[in-house]
Amino acid sequence: MRIAVKIGTSTLTHKTGQLNIRQVENLCRILSDLKNAGHEIIMISSGAIGMGVGKLGLKSRPTDIPGKQAAAAVGQCELMDTYDRLFSVYHHTVAQILLTAADVENEERHANFRNTIFRLLELGALPIINENDTVATEELGIGDNDTLGAIVAVSTDADLLVLLSDIDGLYTADPRRDPTAKRIETVEKLDEKILSLGEGVGSALGTGGMKTKLRAAQIVTGNGIDMIIADGSEPALLYDIVEGKPVGTRFLGKKK
Ligand code: GLU
């Protein structure tokens, strides 16, 4: 199976911006194991800004664009260094790819991106993709990594997109505020009612929220690919996911 796995900042870092060592170590071990079992993994990893905040010792996440971009420039090195070290333990080789909206909109650059990814997979490497935050502002860029994950999943003909998040699925209401909220196991059709469930459900850290996840679901399911939102603090769920067991919320790709 070719699986695109998007990892949110909330899975990688504590609220302090420092690395969540237990979660990241678990994640890299499990993804290595899935690769050893023959699955192809493509990671879309956030966390550049978050890790830059930790590394620079900032008190909070910058709100201005140059501040975010500077934090991302510092944090992206730290992020890749962390992945490189942790995957090396299991003899897996990581590859960094930084993209902007222009790269996926331009036919030639998009084709180059696809060629590189396919060659990396053939070589057994593990591509790790993030937005090139130092040049892409939120206004001009892809803006959030849920959407980037969806674009990557479609561009690389993935079988599945998994969004690992600080929320374990789509709920009938915001579970942080409404104790009666229930998790929806399967979404067959992204109608207005489902899309409205994304309103106001944000993420404690990072840029995304439920709204960007539902947008990602629209992109991938429209291209015949399933998407799952799952709890990033439980990366072992990835084993259940590849075995087809119900985890989080699964959005069914439209049959082509
Ligand atoms: N590219 C941003 C970062 O690495 C994250 C964007 C997002 O999480 O949606 O910090």
51 lines ligand 1 (CB under 6 A): no
Report how far ligand 1's centroid is from the alpha carbon of 133 (Å).
Answer: 8
208 lines ligand 1 (CB under 6 A): yes
- Is residue 139 packed enough to be buried (19+ CB in 10 Å), middle (13-18) or exposed (0-12)? exposed
Other CB atoms closer than 10 Å to residue 94's CB: what's the count?
Answer: 21
Tell which residue, 17, 20, 18, 45, has the closest CA to residue 31: 45
More confident residue, 139 or 83: 83
Mutating to test ligand 1, I would choose from 145, 146, 152, 210 the residue with most ligand atoms within 8 A of its C-beta, which is 145
Report how far ligand 1's centroid is from the alpha carbon of 49 (Å).
Answer: 7
Measure the CA–CA gap between 90 and 212, rounded to whole angstroms. Answer: 33
What pLDDT score was predicted for residue 205?
46
Q: What is the pLDDT of residues 198-222, one digit of tens each?
A: 876 665 544 558 999 999 999 999 9
Torsion sign (Cα): 128, 49, 233, 144 = negative
Q: What is the pLDDT of residues 57-115, one digit of tens each?
A: 999 999 999 999 999 999 999 999 999 999 999 999 999 999 999 999 999 999 999 99
Q: What is the pLDDT of residues 5-61, one digit of tens each?
A: 999 988 998 887 788 999 999 999 999 999 999 999 999 999 999 999 999 999 999
What pLDDT score was predicted for residue 139?
62
17 lines ligand 1 (CB under 6 A): no
